[in-house]
Structure 1
Amino acid sequence: MKKMLRRFSLLLSLALLATTLPVQAQQIAFTWDDLPAHSKLPLGDSRVEIGRKLMAAMKAEHMPPVYGFVNGIRTEEEPLSTPMLQGWRDAGLPLGNHTWSHLNLNQHTVEEWEAEVLKNEPLLKQYMAGQDWHWLRYPNLAEGNTPEKREAARKFLAEHGYKIAGVTMSFRDYAYNDPYARCVAKHDDAAIAQLEASYLAAADATIGYTRAMAKTLYGHDIPYVLLMHVGALDARMLPRLLKLYRSRGFSFVSLEDAEKDPFYKNDLDLSLPSVPDTLEEAMRARGLPVAAHPEATVDLNTICR
């Protein structure tokens, strides 16, 4: 009887300890694609102002340095966007390679794609002088549509000292920026409110969608790498978006810290073979069903047409 009481007392003590220990927040690394110009520019806005809003929101939340992935061609297409890159660096934020013109590897030869990666490097060297800019985000997350192409691209990146910026969470924020520009042009505040609500709902639903895959695959969360784009609605919504992630128990970490997780091992060591680079790919590789990705609650193709 005494032994049973001691055991019960021990179990009760452990249970009480478990309830008082701090809960480890889930971790997420923000990353931003398409600097310095993404999607349509709403009337009265500027790329520099979009960048300023993004940087101000991240600073207010005391986020660690967040990578922005650059398409250098935008500095030629929209010269007025170029100061956004210097603003990003002045805020202590790093830049990485997104190829010169956002070239999709699946739709081009490896040689064409390699040339695009290299063409972007002088701009990165200019803005990241003395710091490491050897992170690459594949445009459209296209890593090659054949095993031979995937391995050739990895070999090239390894030879040039790159690491891959993987993506394990995306609520397709990019799809909202063109509709937002249309609604601004029409001065349709009601439609803008619909877009804002749908944007946050998509982000929220994608949290559950993504975490469910990680739990199925590994039995626990991994540090997630979130794909974002430097669009006008993103800049408008970022303070609310960051609060949403905070409210769901996330803490913000750097890309480097997130990719210390074993899931990203093959993104850091490109001498290793190509493996599934997204949670969806990992699910399919194990023969597990992949749920439908959460959809927008408004028709993004027709709103404000």
Structure 2
Amino acid sequence: MADRIVAITFDDLPYVSAGSNPSTKAAIDAQRRIVQALQRAHVPATGFVNEDKVEALGPAGPLLLAKWNKGLLALGNHGYSHFDSNDFDAGSVEWEVLKGEATIRPMASSAGRTIPFFRFPYNHIGDTEPKRAAIEKLLADHGYRLAASTIDTSDYLFNNAYERAFAKRDRAMMRRVERAYLDHSRIQIDYYAELCRRVFRREVPAIMLLHANRLNAATIQPLLGLFRSGGYRFVSLSDAQSDPAYSTPVAASKFGPMWAYRWARARKVKVDGRLEQEPPVWVGTYAGETP
């Protein structure tokens, strides 16, 4: 088997919940479980931070981020808010980028570290070519590289269902959601690996997109196990994006597809996105119901 590698990333740090008012206790518990699992397994990971979520947790926010500023863990910028660049001009995007540094930039500097990566919420990197180019330039001007992602599991949808089951104290449903999520993740890992091979005719380092939520805190160990059973080894985001594939230009789009779809378009490789499996219908239905 060819060498398979993957970088693990988490968005929406310190914590994202289904409601607008995050529970400090839930955030602390989720971060403890995620960070401990990564540390025990010696897995590098990058956590992308929304500064407004740091503020929402008060004094606990920076304390939780400090755990991502040491060892194999690293901080990344996800903007001040979970904004949609499709609705912003370049100047407003720059404001989000810079205000998103309020906590993480001095924190990293105090440890002799930098913040090399910025990831856009929704993976919206510019809906027109002039905006995409302007965004790329402003990121470079501020010392950032655009963080890519190649594996999407719709974990936010599963988490919404999981949060609903948690609120109802329905442990049977929580276990059902966990199983469905892990089954879907296994399918998506294989699907996107094959999609990358179709575009480049070789293995390409994978970048797993996760979110700092209750579901991933509960399933992080078996999630890492999915990669181990698939023959993957874990590397940093910088190592993954050092592969030449990540130098392939990507075009503007109002959508936020994973990078293999963007590469396929750039390299004029025909792929059929309809072959990608959607999450089970019941998960979305349950997630959308009122608790």
Pairing 1:68–2:47 present? yes
Per the alignment, residue 254 of structure 1 pairs with: 236
Q: TM-score of the superposition, structure 1-length normalised?
A: 0.84
Per the alignment, residue 39 of structure 1 pairs with: 17
Letter in 2 for 1:111: G
Quickly say closer, same or farther: Cα 1:152–1:158, change in 2 above 3 A: same
Pairing 1:278–2:278 present? no
Q: Which runs of 5+ in 2 are unaligned?
A: 253-257
Cα offset for 1:90? 4.9
Per the alignment, residue 172 of structure 1 pairs with: 154
Where 1:118 maps in the other structure, the secondary structure is helix
Letter in 1 for 2:36: A
Q: Distance in 1 between matches of 2:12 and 2:60?
A: 11
Quickly say closer, same or farther: Cα 1:91–1:254, change in 2 above 3 A: closer
Deviations 1:228-285 (A, max 9, x none): 110001010001111111111111111011011111125xxxxxx6558710122234
Q: Distance in 2 between matches of 1:180 and 1:28?
A: 26
Per the alignment, residue 200 of structure 2 pairs with: 218
Deviations 1:106-144 (A, max 9, x none): 121111111110111231222212211131011110011
Where 1:205 maps in the other structure, the secondary structure is helix
Where 2:9 maps in the other structure, the secondary structure is strand
Pairing 1:30–2:8 present? yes
Q: TM-score of the superposition, structure 2-length normalised?
A: 0.88
User: Counterparts in 2 of 1:1-305, with a 5 A limit?
Assistant: 23-40=1-18, 45-64=25-44, 66-79=45-58, 81-82=60-61, 83-90=63-70, 93-129=73-109, 130-265=112-247, 274-275=250-251, 278-285=259-266, 286=268, 288-292=270-274, 293-303=276-286, 305=289
Cα offset for 1:166? 0.6
Where 1:245 maps in the other structure, the secondary structure is helix
Quickly say closer, same or farther: Cα 1:218–1:92, change in 2 above 3 A: closer
Q: Distance in 2 between matches of 1:121 and 1:44?
A: 22
Where 1:34 maps in the other structure, the secondary structure is strand
Q: Distance in 2 between matches of 1:274 and 1:191?
A: 40
Q: Which moved more, 1:117-126 or 1:286-295?
A: 286-295
Quickly say closer, same or farther: Cα 1:49–1:185, change in 2 above 3 A: same
RMSD (CA atoms): 2.1
Where 1:89 maps in the other structure, the secondary structure is coil
Cα offset for 1:91? 5.5
Q: Distance in 2 between matches of 1:275 and 1:43?
A: 39
Deviations 1:17-52 (A, max 9, x none): xxxxxx544101001111112123798952111111
Q: Distance in 2 between matches of 1:248 and 1:296?
A: 21
Larger Rg: 1
Letter in 2 for 1:76: E
Deviations 1:203-243 (A, max 9, x none): 11112211221121111110011111100010100011111
Deviations 1:158-206 (A, max 9, x none): 1111111111111121222221111011121221121011111111111
Letter in 1 for 2:259: T
Q: Distance in 2 between matches of 1:29 and 1:88?
A: 15
Q: Distance in 2 between matches of 1:25 and 1:67?
A: 22
Q: Distance in 1 between matches of 2:172 and 2:3?
A: 35
Q: Which moved more, 1:88-97 or 1:69-78?
A: 88-97
Q: Distance in 2 between matches of 1:205 and 1:108?
A: 34
Where 1:117 maps in the other structure, the secondary structure is helix
User: What is the number of equivalent residue pairs in this alignment?
Assistant: 276
Q: Is the 8 A contact 1:33 1:69 kept in 2?
A: yes
Where 2:101 maps in the other structure, the secondary structure is helix
Q: Which runs of 5+ in 1 are unaligned?
A: 1-22, 267-272
Where 1:299 maps in the other structure, the secondary structure is helix
